[in-house]
Each structure stands twice: as C-alpha cells, then as structure tokens.
Amino acid sequence: MAAFQFTRTPIAPDELRRALADPVCGGYAAFEGWVRDSNEGQRVRGLEYEAFEALGVREGERIVADAIARFGIAHAACVHRIGALAVGELAVWVGVSAAHRDEAFRACRYIIDEVKHRLPIWKKEHYLNGDSGWVNCERCAAAQAAAEDAAAARHVHEHV
C-alpha cells in the first residue's frame, strides 16, 4: 500500500487497516477525520477539498517515513479525500501498526498533525445560508467581500 495517497472516491478504512496487519504488531491506532456540520459558528452543508497533488504526495510520503523513523513503528499509511464531500463523510484516514500501543498512538497523532500543517490541501466550506469560503483564508475573503460591498454601494450611489 502507498504510504500516502489522495482519492476521489470514498475511503474504505477496513481494507486499509488490513494492509497494516503484521504478526510482530500488538497495537494498531487509527484516526479518522470526518466532515463536521459547523465551523466557527457557521452551519456547514458540505465542502470541497483541493490539493496540489504532486507536492502533496511527496510531502505525505515524507511525513509517514519520518513517523516510522521517529517512533519505531512497523507500518503506517495515510489517505486524504479530494473533491466534494457531504457532512459525515470520511475526509482523512491515518493508520499505524506497531509492537506496542504507545508508539502507535504517538505516531498516529504526529502524522495527522503534520498532514494538517504541511500538506498543500485546501478546504472550501459551503454553508447552509448559501455562502462559501476557503478555510484559513476567511479573513482575506471577508476583506474582499467588504471591498466588493463598498464598490457596490458606490455603484448604487452613482445611479441614484
């Protein structure tokens, strides 16, 4: 199994988990990131993930290799969804198998934290009120909307 991959189709954790099984392992830890129905006070209807895939795969493989080296785990893998997702869908999966639980938990946490921090993946949320926005770019989006409103107001004024 690839250490890191993007997929446009639903993630199947059971199959991925089976690929990490190994008689030397006494522990398995996994993390599933799901699409939540709200963010920062807004009701979320669904979202879209977009990725710079070539760099994302390269960095994702490095993160998994780093985790294996740092924590001495046996196997690890990560899959990230891209495209349109509905509330409740599985957006990202991380699985780790190791001789003991401690390093499995720690490596799993390390991988998801690094993936969120480093990989060139973007999330556009669609809200129930019809708005949408790129997560972590909201402030820029808000500034832009204010500028557009001001421009629209000027336009209206000109025609009054």
Site string for other proteins, 16-55 (x = CB under 8 A): -----------------x---------------xxxx-xx
- Choose the binding region for other proteins from 18-26, 100-108, 141-149, 152-160 (rule: CB under 8 A): 141-149
Token pair, residue 96, equals 């780790």
Q: How far apart are CB 97 and other proteins at their closest, in Å?
A: 21
- Do residues 80 and 121 touch, judged by C-beta distance below 8 A? yes
Nearer to other proteins, 7 or 144 (CB): 144
- Do residues 16 and 77 touch, judged by C-beta distance below 8 A? yes
**What is the side-by-side strand order in the sheet with 27-34?**
4-7, 75-81, 90-98, 27-34
User: For 68, how many CA atoms within 13 A lie in the half-sphere containing its CB?
Assistant: 15
Nearer to other proteins, 90 or 99 (CB): 90
Which of 79, 91, 98, 107 touches other proteins (CB under 8 A)?
Answer: 91
Q: How far apart are CB 62 and other proteins at their closest, in Å?
A: 11
Calculate ∠ Cα 50-68-27, nearest 5°: 100
Q: How far apart are CB 41 and other proteins at their closest, in Å?
A: 17
Residue where the block lists tokens 């893998």: 77
Q: Which of residues 115-134 bind other proteins (CB under 8 A)?
A: 115-124, 134
Q: Could you say whether residue 58 binds other proteins (CB under 8 A)?
A: yes
Helix axis angle, 101-118 relative to 53-71, nearest 10°? 150
Residues that bind other proteins (CB under 8 A): 33, 49-52, 54-55, 58, 80, 91-92, 112, 115-124, 134-137, 140-141, 143-144
